[in-house]
Copies of this chain bind each other. A is one copy, B any other.
């Protein structure tokens, strides 16, 4: 080991005392984990992890994922010691408003934090995504002579991570793909909030991970040599992901709370902190103390790494030139919708095509144009229309732009986040809209973190038909729209679907969901001013009427063409109906007041037609309106029959509107 036992002890002790002090000052936090993992962190950060704090965006840096996000003080301690721009004052501000040291690590707040973690299992799967992205990038940059991308993905995972199903999904896929660049250390402290993990958890974790095809080692997590040796063995294992089961003692170093679940989620208390400092042979009167020697060790380490970094930069400049440099520039830039549009499919008026199929055709073109676009489905590729022929494909021990995620929606979402965190790629994932529920926590993380991720959710309503209520989304649109910073687009036809893809590609400050039909729907008639590019305004008049409308119909997706057809029927009754295609609330809300007032003119009766619940539409209707929506679960039957039963044919819509207007709205 390049760092002596004594120095490692000094570093670990510093982590322990910093963590205790910060948590005590905040009077809130999780001391058990940072204290229990201090020895592991000391070894990793002092001699193994490769990074350059002055250039935290260096693409060949090692990634470190703290999946056990409640141990944030471990990470903040290490970032401070190793030279990132995180000061002792930041640490003293732990868990305070707008500090750089929030309760759980937030990558958009703190330099050096690679992922936002806290909800268990997310980080575990994020790391798998990073490993995939790394291998893809290595495929672009490395050649027989030069290896520019050769770092590792490290992770510190907890009992909770291992118990969550998402980790099982991700681990199984990682084993299948042979991601030898992954090195996870499992903080096996056998303590969870309710007490000893043997309350609920007695599986043989080593055997389970072997079953997934991982390389497994078991060590004492407080023995520096075992830690260092096991990591080095894991680095040498390039064909399989590695997990090191490190037996640790939670709150190691504390005077009276070693091994106790009481140390997990609450400060130790002033008295115990003092006693623990004595136990650790520190000055019990000083707080936030970092011995000068610790800074020296890390400064030395920083210098070594600076050399590595400079050498790498030189090699990069020499290797990445010409076409390769162009490829890299394209990978690391955001696509332009206006540049891409002319090269994408155009759909003919009245052509009948499901928006999932239109999406598939658009995606096919995009794969040729946007080299960083990659992704796939949770085993529904043929239905989601997301498999792009003629491009590379992932399989056993192999990666490609066509990912096969298996029937693992939750891991898919979090792996996608990992790819987005890594950079260079724009990941998409696909499943039936109903199964968004299975991956919702990962979608929320993408929205919270402002990740550039795209979701292809097909089979978007009861129009799914025979598969029945378990497969028919009803509340999913509302529930998706509820997530802050997720942009939900439900295009009305194939033309809007192309525009939705373009929007999703260009938007790089958060995720976008494309909500697409299973069933064929016509490409809408369009004149001047109501072209599909209006999708980006969120809502626009797709069919206007002569003079002031008697009624304004707001509809999205497959209900737009029904509404247009109903409007035409109403015209023969001398009822003038304007139809608004309303693919996205979020985009409409971002328009100026004038535009919004023009589209949803006040004082005119409004009708909402959407094959989902009403919830939230009232905001656009104001006062009274008619809601042709579906408030209950669906049923198993052919889609056309359901449309009749549920009132979603053009005839039924026209009839409902006629009745509504007759009964004087606004009463």
Binding site for B on A (CB under 8 A): 26, 28-29, 69, 95-99, 102-104, 106, 116-120, 159-160, 163-169, 172-173, 175-176, 192-194, 197-208, 210-213, 265, 377, 379-383, 387, 395-396, 404-411, 434-435, 437-438, 440-441, 444-445, 447-448, 465-471, 474-475, 478-479, 481-485, 613-616, 618-619, 622-624, 631-633, 635-638, 641-642, 645
Does B193 contact A119, Cβ atoms closer than 8 Å? no
Does B96 contact A637, Cβ atoms closer than 8 Å? yes
A445 contacts across to B, CB distance below 8 A: 470
Does A636 contact B102, Cβ atoms closer than 8 Å? yes
Q: Which residue of B lies closest to A161 (CB)?
A: B407
Which 6 A-B pairs have CB atoms at the shortest separation, nearest pair first?
A: A165-B165, A102-B636, A200-B406, A168-B168, A97-B637, A118-B470
A159 contacts across to B, CB distance below 8 A: 407
Q: How far, in Å, is A648 (CB) from chain B's closest CB?
A: 14
Query: Please, how many angstroms separate the alpha-carbon atoms of A168 and B411 in the complex?
Result: 13
Contacts A176-B202, A199-B404 known; list 20 others, CB within 8 Å. A69-B470, A95-B468, A95-B636, A96-B638, A97-B645, A98-B635, A98-B637, A103-B467, A118-B471, A119-B434, A120-B407, A163-B408, A165-B168, A176-B203, A193-B381, A200-B395, A205-B211, A206-B211, A440-B440, A478-B482
Does A160 contact B379, Cβ atoms closer than 8 Å? yes
Choose from B26, B116, B193, B448 the contact partner of A380 (Cβ within 8 Å): B193
Does A203 contact B199, Cβ atoms closer than 8 Å? no
Does B103 contact A471, Cβ atoms closer than 8 Å? yes
Q: How far, in Å, is A275 (CB) from chain B's closest CB?
A: 24
A200 contacts across to B, CB distance below 8 A: 173, 176, 379, 395, 404-406, 408
Please name 25 pairs of A and B residues whose Cβ atoms are closer than 8 Å in the assembled complex, sorted by A.
Answer: A28-B466, A97-B635, A102-B469, A103-B466, A106-B470, A119-B470, A160-B407, A163-B408, A165-B169, A176-B202, A176-B203, A192-B407, A194-B382, A197-B406, A199-B404, A200-B405, A201-B406, A208-B208, A437-B440, A440-B440, A447-B633, A479-B482, A484-B631, A615-B615, A615-B616
A192 contacts across to B, CB distance below 8 A: 379, 406-407
Choose from B97, B211, B642 the contact partner of A211 (Cβ within 8 Å): B211
Q: How far, in Å, is A649 (CB) from chain B's closest CB?
A: 14
Q: Which residue of B lies closest to A438 (CB)?
A: B441
Contacts A444-B437, A478-B478 known; A466 to B26 CB distance under 8 Å? Answer: yes
Query: Please, how many angstroms separate the alpha-carbon atoms of A616 and B624 in the complex?
Result: 14
Query: Please, how many angstroms separate the alpha-carbon atoms of A437 and B631 in the complex?
Result: 21
Choose from B207, B212, B468 the contact partner of A103 (Cβ within 8 Å): B468
Q: Which residue of B lies closest to A170 (CB)?
A: B165
Q: How far, in Å, is A219 (CB) from chain B's closest CB?
A: 19
A211 contacts across to B, CB distance below 8 A: 203-208, 211
Interface centre among A173, A200, A448, A641 (most CB of B within 10 A): A200
Interface centre among A163, A377, A623, A635 (most CB of B within 10 A): A163
Does B613 contact A482, Cβ atoms closer than 8 Å? yes
Does B615 contact A481, Cβ atoms closer than 8 Å? yes
A212 contacts across to B, CB distance below 8 A: 203, 208
Query: Please, how many angstroms separate the alpha-carbon atoms of A631 and B165 in the complex?
Result: 30
